């Protein structure tokens, strides 16, 4: 009874933790409340539920703390998506393991118990292996391009069908070996599911896997008849689902298209291979353009983060503001490698969050913007997404910077962006290209603006 | 069992209600915070291990405890680091 009450307290804390995130100001307290709830729940479980093996459990917890805290403390903000993917994966694995262990412990399993067990094991193992592949892609330990296995689609269907069949078999025969086979099938399915997802679509994969782990944990709540696991897992499932949907909207594509799109032929038409002229400018040209503008929008992309140029960008913006230029940042929902990633990177560089604007804030007034400064972004300003139905990214909402009075495009080279699509904006007569490393160029720009 | 289903359905609604109000700026902390919350599987892992009878259960349980702990502490610490930057 007391344990149930404590679990209720923990569940409330989790809800408050998520609620805290509705305002950046108080979000941190929300997170403390969530951590407190977790502590209450874990202590309750230990005090009320542990009959034996107590020392072993403490040892395993200690080991987890020793591994988890330094990893979380040292991770760079640019690498947060990989970290989240990894934590997500271990959570899914833990859920699957719990269901496996409970399956072997229970003598006379009922129908619902078995259903919840196979679901937890399946979803948990899909989430684990999928997250590991996502991690490898983000960490660039493997290619970020979609990996298309020969007959990949058939393999995925085969793995899916055998998973479902194994679920049914486990439920009817209750044979442990089959549950292990289901685990393996789930692991294979997770890998096959994420491999064909292209680099730019990885944020979607992360969101979806997050929802999966939540569902696996909720299902494990049925296995153990534990309400806290059900509530907490469901909350995470809801959050992952909402984020997945938002990401899909931000890319203007259906979820099915993102996940399975690579299965279809995505040979980008290699048209326009002939040399086309672009206008490239010097640092001084751009400094004059920026320094005498009234209204500037900075559109940062992941390239900014890779070059560690957030601070340089913020300094340049401060300098421009001192000159009376009004500056805001246009943050695309898919800028960065996971939902909202760019906001975190800019916050790290002390950019006030009031300056971070979304598509709907920027686009209506874009024609009165004097200079749109594109730093390390590409696909999110590609007019092809709006105008060319043949473009692979057609339908993705973009910043309409081609409608601003002028565009400065900072680029390392003429290489196309993450999605590998050519960008018409580069050849627009309004566009000035500034080649070079983003951080380097921004620092030079800052110096040049100071000279004006 | 209906009780558990009731709780699940209500939690779905609470989840959607709360999460849809989260500011878009905070989507990354939302995901890592949610990540930390699903680390609550640690509770399940502790319960399983605490009553494990066979070596197999013990090994599976302890592995789950370890992984879930990494999930919990890592998740909350990373989220805190991010939110600290947004407080100003």
Residues of chain B positioned with their CB less than 8 A from the CB of A207: 31
Longest dimension (CA), chain B: 52
Stated as kind and residue range, the H or E segment containing A329 is strand A326-330
The ranges assigned to domains in chain B are 25-86
**Active-site residue (options: A379, A400, A402, A422):** A379
Residue numbers of B between 59 and 88 with CB closer than 8 Å to A: 60-88
At A420 the pLDDT is 63
Q: Which of B23, B27, B53, B54 to mutate to test the interface with A (most CBs of A within 10 A)?
A: B27
pLDDT digits (tens, 9 = 90+) for B37-72: 999 999 999 999 999 999 999 999 999 999 999 999
Distance CA A93, CA A186 (A): 11
Using CA atoms, how far residue B85 sits from A208, A224, A314, B29, in Å, is 26, 38, 15, 11
Distance CA A22, CA B29 (A): 11
At A392 the pLDDT is 77
Residue numbers of A between 133 and 192 with CB closer than 8 Å to B: none
At B3 the pLDDT is 87
At A140 the pLDDT is 84
**How many residue pairs from chains A and B have C-beta atoms closer than 8 A?**
372
Q: In this predicted complex, what is the ipTM? A: 0.96
Chain B residue nearest residue A176, CA to CA: B56
- The C-alpha of B43 sits at a distance from chain A's nearest C-alpha, in angstroms, of 5
Chain B residue nearest residue A57, CA to CA: B62
User: All domains of chain A, ordered by start, with CATH?
Assistant: 1-74 (no CATH), 84-263 (no CATH), 283-451 (3.40.50.1220)
Helices within A328-408 (DSSP H only)? 341-348, 359-362, 384-387
Stated as kind and residue range, the H or E segment containing A374 is strand A371-375
Question: Given phi > 0 = left and psi -120 to 50 = alpha, else beta, which region is A174?
Answer: left
Chain A residue nearest residue B27, CA to CA: A340
At B88 the pLDDT is 62
CB contact under 8 A, B44 and A243: no
Residue numbers of B between 11 and 50 with CB closer than 8 Å to A: 11-12, 14-16, 18-50
CB contact under 8 A, B43 and A45: yes
Distance CA A240, CA A405 (A): 39
Q: Are A408 and A434 in contact (CB under 8 A)?
A: yes
Residue numbers of A between 200 and 229 with CB closer than 8 Å to B: 206-207, 210, 213-214, 217-218, 220-229
Residues of chain A positioned with their CB less than 8 A from the CB of B65: 57, 60-61, 64, 94
CB contact under 8 A, B43 and A344: no
- The C-alpha of A153 sits at a distance from chain B's nearest C-alpha, in angstroms, of 29
What's this model's pTM, rounded to 2 decimal places?
A: 0.89
What does the pLDDT profile of chain A (452 residues) look like in tens digits? 899 999 999 999 999 999 999 988 889 999 999 999 999 999 999 999 888 899 999 999 999 999 999 999 999 988 999 999 999 999 999 999 999 999 999 888 889 999 999 999 999 999 999 999 999 988 888 887 788 888 878 888 899 999 999 999 999 999 999 999 999 999 999 999 898 887 677 888 899 999 999 999 999 999 999 999 999 999 999 999 999 998 888 888 777 777 776 544 444 444 444 567 788 888 999 999 999 999 999 999 888 887 888 899 999 999 999 999 999 999 998 888 888 889 999 998 889 888 999 999 999 999 999 999 999 888 889 998 888 888 878 888 999 999 999 999 998 877 665 556 778 888 889 999 998 888 999 999 999 999 88
Told to judge if A379 belongs to the known catalytic residues of this protein, a careful annotator would answer: yes
Distance CA A104, CA B24 (A): 43
Does B33 score more than 90 pLDDT?
yes
At A289 the pLDDT is 92
At A201 the pLDDT is 79
Q: Are A420 and A388 in contact (CB under 8 A)?
A: no
Asked if A77 has any chain B CB less than 8 Å from its own CB, the reply is yes
Using CA atoms, how far residue A90 sits from A71, A125, A330, A383, B63, in Å, is 14, 10, 34, 40, 10
Quote the tokens at residue A81: 């998506």
Q: Helix/strand/coil (H, E, C) string of B54-82?
A: CHHHHHHHHHHHHHHHHHHHHHHHHHHHH
């Amino acid at each position: 009874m007391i344990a149930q009450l404590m679990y209720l307290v923990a569940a409330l804390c989790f809800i408050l933790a998520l609620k805290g995130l509705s305002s950046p100001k108080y979000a941190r307290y929300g997170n403390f409340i969530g951590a407190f709830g977790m502590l209450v729940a874990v202590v309750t479980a230990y005090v009320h539920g542990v009959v034996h093996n107590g020392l072993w459990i403490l040892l395993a917890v200690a080991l987890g703390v020793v591994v988890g805290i330094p990893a979380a403390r040292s991770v760079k903000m640019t690498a947060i998506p990989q970290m989240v993917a990894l934590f997500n994966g271990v959570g899914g694995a833990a859920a699957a393991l719990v269901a496996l262990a409970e399956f072997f412990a229970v003598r006379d399993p009922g129908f619902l118990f078995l259903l919840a067990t196979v679901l937890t094991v399946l979803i948990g193992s899909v989430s684990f292996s999928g997250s590991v592949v996502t991690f490898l892609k983000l960490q660039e330990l493997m290619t970020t391009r979609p990996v298309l296995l020969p007959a990949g689609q058939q393999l995925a269907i085969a793995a899916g069908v055998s998973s479902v069949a194994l679920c049914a078999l486990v439920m009817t025969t209750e044979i442990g070996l089959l549950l292990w086979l289901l685990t393996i099938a789930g692991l294979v399915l997770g890998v096959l599911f994420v491999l064909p997802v292209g680099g730019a679509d990885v944020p979607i994969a992360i969101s979806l896997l997050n929802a999966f782990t939540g569902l696996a944990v909720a299902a494990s709540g049925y296995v153990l008849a534990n309400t806290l696991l059900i509530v907490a897992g469901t909350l995470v499932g809801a959050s992952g689902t909402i984020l997945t949907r938002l990401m899909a909207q931000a890319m203007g594509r259906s979820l099915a298209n993102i996940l399975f799109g690579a299965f279809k032929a995505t040979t980008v038409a290699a048209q326009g291979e002939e040399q086309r002229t672009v206008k490239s400018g010097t640092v001084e040209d751009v400094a004059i353009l920026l320094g005498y503008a009234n209204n500037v929008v900075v559109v940062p992309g992941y390239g900014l983060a890779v070059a560690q140029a957030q601070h340089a960008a913020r300094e340049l913006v401060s300098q421009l503001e001192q000159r009376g230029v009004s500056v805001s940042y246009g943050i695309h929902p898919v800028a960065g490698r996971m939902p909202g990633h760019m906001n975190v990177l800019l916050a790290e560089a002390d950019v006030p969050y009031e300056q971070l604007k979304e598509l709907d804030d920027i686009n209506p007034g874009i024609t009165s913007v004097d200079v749109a400064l594109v730093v390390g972004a590409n696909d999110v300003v590609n007019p092809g997404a709006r105008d060319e139905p043949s473009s692979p990214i057609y339908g993705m909402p973009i910043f309409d910077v081609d409608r601003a009075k002028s565009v400065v495009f900072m680029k390392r080279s003429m290489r196309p962006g993450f999605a590998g699509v050519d960008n018409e904006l580069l050849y627009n007569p309004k566009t000035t290209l500034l080649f070079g490393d983003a951080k380097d160029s921004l620092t030079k720009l800052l110096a040049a603006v100071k000279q004006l | 069992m209906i009780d558990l289903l009731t709780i699940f359905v209500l939690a779905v609604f609470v989840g959607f209600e709360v999460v849809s109000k989260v500011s878009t700026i905070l989507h990354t902390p939302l995901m890592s915070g949610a990540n930390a919350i699903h680390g609550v599987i640690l509770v399940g892992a502790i319960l399983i291990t605490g009553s494990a009878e066979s070596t197999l259960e013990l090994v599976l349980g302890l592995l789950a405890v370890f992984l879930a702990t990494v999930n919990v502490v890592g998740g909350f610490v990373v989220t805190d680091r991010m939110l600290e930057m947004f407080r100003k």
